Amino acid sequence: MGQVVLVTGVSRYIGGVLARRLAADPSVDKVIGVDVIPPPRDLGAAEFVRADIRNPMIGKVIAQGDVDTVVHANVIATPTFAGGRTPQKEINVIGTMQLLAACQKASTVKRLVVKSTAAVYGSTPRDPAMFTEEMTAKRLPSSGFGKDSIEVEGYVRGFARRRPDAEILTLRFANIIGPRIRTSITDYFNLPVIPIPFGYDARLQFFHEDDAIAALARGVTGTSTGVVNLAGDGVLTVMQAAAIARRPFVVVPMAAAGPLGSLGKRFGLVDFSPDQMSFLAYGRGMDTTVMRERFGFNPSFSTRAAFEDFARTLSPIVPSFDAMSGAVGGVAGVAQQVLGRATGGRL
C-alpha cells in the first residue's frame, strides 16, 4: 500500500505544484491538500480540503484520511501575501503548533517533511563563509520570517522528542527563485532600480523552483531524515545579480535602509524586514555536502542558472539601461576588434 500524503499550503505555488506532482507519483496513493483558500492552480488528482491549520480541526482531516506523511509547506515568507505581519506570524507559528499537535495525536503519521529556510542562520559579519547543518545563527533573527522559522524548527524538534518513532526531515532552502514563483527576493530584483546597501556586496545563494519541488517530492517519498541545506552551486553577489537582471542599482546607506524599506512597503513594491536588509548586506552561504551525499539530491540549476532563468522573465523597466550596457558592450567589442587588427591579434 502506498503513502497517503497531506500537504499544507497548497494554495501557494510550491505547495500546489508539489501536491499535483505527488498525486501523479505511483508510489503515493492519495494526496490531500489543505489550505484556507481554494487553490488557484489545478491540483491534478490531489484532493483539496478547505481547512485551517491554526484550528484543531486539522486533526480530524489527518485522522479521517489515514495520513502517514505530512508535508508542512505553509510557512509563509512574505507578509504581503498573508495580509500583514500579524496573520503571517499566526499562520507560521500557531499553524505549526496546531499541525504538529495533530500529528502527534494521530498514530498513523509516520513521516514529517518541513519546508524551512536558510534564514534560520541569520546574517551577520561574524558568520562563517558557509553554514553547515549543525551550525546555528551567530545572532538570532530578531523579526519576521527568520524568527518564525526558528520557532517552527523549535516546535519540530519538540515533536521529534515526543514522537521518536516518526521520521522527520527538515529542508532548509536557500532563496527559491524561478520564472513562476513570487517571493520577496523576486520582488526585490523586480524593482526598477535595485537599492543595494552602501559598501556591501553580499553573497547570495539561490535554488530553482523546479529543484525545490523535486527536492520536496524526494523528501516525501524517500527515507532520509534530519536537517538538509538546499542551495544551488556557487554564489552570486548582489551587484552581480543586479547586472544579470539588467537592472541599474543605487547604493543606499544602511542607516537609510529602514525608512526606504518602509516606503517600499507602503507602496507595495517590496516588503523587507531588517533581517532581510542585513541579509542583503552580509549575505549567507550554506554548505550543501549533506544535500549531495546523504540526501542524494543534485539540483539541476546552479545558483547562477537559477537566477538567469528568473532574470529571463524580467521585463526591462528601464530600457536605457539595456541600451547603455549594450552600447558599452558594443564599444568594447568593436574596440577589441579594431585593436586586434591594429596589434595583429596579440590580445
Partner 1 sequence: MATTKKAATPKKAAATKTAVTKAAAPKKAVAKKAITKKAVATKAATKTTTPMSSAPGRAARRSPSVAAGAARASGERARRRSTPLLSASASEGVAEQAPAPKAVSQPTPEPQPTPAPAPAASTPATRRAAHRPQPTVRAKASPKATRQAGIRPQSPRAKRAADEAARRHLRVATVAEPPPRPTSSRPSSARPASPDPTATQTDMSLPVPGIEELLSASIAAMRMAAQGAGISPEEIERRIAATLAFLRRRLEGDYSVDEFGYDEHFAEHVIFPMLRPIYRNWFRVEVRGLENIPDEGGALIVSNHSGTIAIDSLMVAQAIHDEHPKHRVMRALGADLVFQTPVLGSFARRGGSTLATGDDVDRLFAKGELVGVFPEGFKGVGKPFKERYKLQRFGRGGFVSAALKAGAPIIPTSVVGAEEIAPILGNMKTVARLLGLPYAPVTPTFPLLGPLGLIPLPSKWIIEFGAPIETAPHGAAAADDPMLVFDLTDQVRETIQQTLYSLLMQRRSVFF
Return the number of the residue (250 or 339) whose C-beta is nearest partner 1. Answer: 339
CA distance 29 to 16: 17
Binding to partner 1 by CB under 8 A, coded x per residue (else -) over 32-71, reads ----------------------------------------
Three-state SS across 110-134? CEEEEEEEHHHHCCCCCCCCCECCC
Torsion angle of the four alpha carbons 208, 251, 255, 75, in this order, in degrees rounded to the nearest 10: -10
CA distance 11 to 306: 23
Q: What is the DSSP letter of 328?
A: H
Decide: is 336 part of the binding site for partner 1 (CB under 8 A).
yes
Query: Beta 175-177 vs 206-208: how paired, if at all?
Result: parallel
- Nearest distance, CB of residue 142 and partner 1, angstroms: 17
Grid coordinates 497548497 are at which residue? Answer: 10
Torsion angle of the four alpha carbons 302, 5, 15, 294, in this order, in degrees rounded to the nearest 10: -20
CA distance 99 to 9: 12
Size of interface with partner 1, in residues (CB under 8 A):
46
Which one of 11-19, 61-69, 292-300, 325-333 is the stretch in contact with partner 1 (CB under 8 A)?
A: 325-333
Which one of 2-10, 26-34, 96-104, 321-329 is the stretch in contact with partner 1 (CB under 8 A)?
A: 321-329
Decide: is 328 part of the binding site for partner 1 (CB under 8 A).
yes
Decide: is 146 part of the binding site for partner 1 (CB under 8 A).
no
Decide: is 195 part of the binding site for partner 1 (CB under 8 A).
no
- Nearest distance, CB of residue 332 and partner 1, angstroms: 4
- Identified binder of partner 1 from the candidate list 2, 84, 296, 330, rule CB under 8 A: 330
- Nearest distance, CB of residue 220 and partner 1, angstroms: 30
Long-range contacts of the stretch 157-160 (C-beta < 8 A, 24+):
158/100, 159/100, 159/103, 159/104, 159/112
Phi, psi of 122 (to 5 degrees): 65, -165
User: Does residue 32 contact residue 4 with C-beta atoms inside 8 Å?
Assistant: yes
User: Does residue 189 contact residue 159 with C-beta atoms inside 8 Å?
Assistant: no
- Identified binder of partner 1 from the candidate list 154, 258, 296, 329, rule CB under 8 A: 329
Phi, psi of 12 (to 5 degrees): -100, 165
Residues 231-250 close enough to bind partner 1 by CB under 8 A: 234-237, 239-244
- Nearest distance, CB of residue 336 and partner 1, angstroms: 5
Residues 93-132 close enough to bind partner 1 by CB under 8 A: 125-130, 132
- Nearest distance, CB of residue 123 and partner 1, angstroms: 12
- Identified binder of partner 1 from the candidate list 140, 263, 318, 332, rule CB under 8 A: 332
Which one of 2-10, 43-51, 154-162, 336-344 is the stretch in contact with partner 1 (CB under 8 A)?
A: 336-344
- Identified binder of partner 1 from the candidate list 282, 305, 309, 314, rule CB under 8 A: 282
How crowded is the C-beta side of 272, counted as CA atoms within 13 Å?
Answer: 28
Return the number of the residue (24 or 339) whose C-beta is nearest partner 1. Answer: 339
Long-range contacts of the stretch 125-128 (C-beta < 8 A, 24+):
125/282, 127/282, 127/284
Residues 287-306 close enough to bind partner 1 by CB under 8 A: 304
Interface contacts to partner 1, rule CB under 8 A: 125-130, 132, 135, 197-201, 203, 234-237, 239-244, 254, 282-283, 285, 304, 325, 328-336, 338-340, 342-343, 346-347
